[in-house]
Amino acid sequence: MAQGPLDIPRVRQGLASRRLGRKIHYFPLIDSTNSCARRLAEDGAADGDVVIAESQSHGRGRLGRAWISPPSLNLYLSAVLRPALPASAAPQLTLMAAVALADTVALFCDTEPSIKWPNDVLLEGKKIAGVLAESSCAAERIEFVILGIGVNLNYPAELMPEAIRDRATSLMIVRGQPVEREAFLRRLIQDLDRCYGELEEKGFGAIAQRWDARFNLKGKKIRVAMEDETLVGTAVGIDPEGALVVLDSGGASRRVFAGDVTPAE
């Protein structure tokens, strides 16, 4: 089912972005695009450098989970960002990426994507993509952020591990036909570049409104599994810092910065 490798020169042709993708590092196989991008950032890689792999031997998702990375079917990329933002704004980059990713997905199918806090993009209630952001900060300044993105593009259900088959999907499954990976990649780089610029220049407000409009659990009862407790309550939305706001059973407002969110029965 695997297609041919990505044609990176074709991706570069017509790429309309200010910063992202000016330099693209491409690998047939790598341990992890995020790990590679971090090594490049520590060696001085510029703002906007992008790492792309056909497959990953140790792809990573949120909360220490593995990201299954079959070759030449999907999209695995990481970008080096050096934003002119304070360290406190680092979580906003994850939410910004989710908005850009949902915008791109929406262009390639007739089904509207939704976002699960903070960074999963869903189609028909199933996960199609995710974001893993890793920051390096000094005092109150962001040195760099590695923004990792995985998107299931042409991933057939029969090749997915059984453990994820009931909760994951791909663009090909939803569309009923394969997607051209070069076209999707080019558009994703442009949407990330646009949203990244908006965040820096206009602040988090406009991004937050677009994120909130796609939030799939707003007003619904949820369960948040955190490191030291499990919170059950009603999802309100996100606050100006990007934290998830939840009303607990007593009506108190709680802010969640990290955790796994699922619908509550």
Side-by-side strand order, sheet with 75-81: 24-30, 50-56, 75-81, 141-151, 126-138, 120-123, 114-116
Q: Specify whether the CB–CB gap between 151 and 102 falls below 8 A.
A: no
Q: pTM value?
A: 0.92
Residue type, 170: S
Q: pLDDT digit of tens for each residue in the chain (265 aa)? A: 446 899 999 999 989 999 999 999 999 999 889 999 999 999 999 999 999 999 988 655 544 455 566 778 999 999 999 998 888 888 899 999 999 999 999 999 999 999 998 889 999 999 999 999 999 988 788 999 999 999 999 999 898 888 888 999 999 999 999 999 999 999 999 999 999 999 999 999 989 999 999 998 999 999 999 888 899 999 999 988 888 999 988 889 999 988 889 888 6
Q: Specify whether the CB–CB gap between 109 and 124 falls below 8 A.
A: no
Beta strands in 47-196 (DSSP E): 50-56, 75-81, 114-116, 120-123, 126-138, 141-151
| Structure-token pair, residue 265 | 């029965």
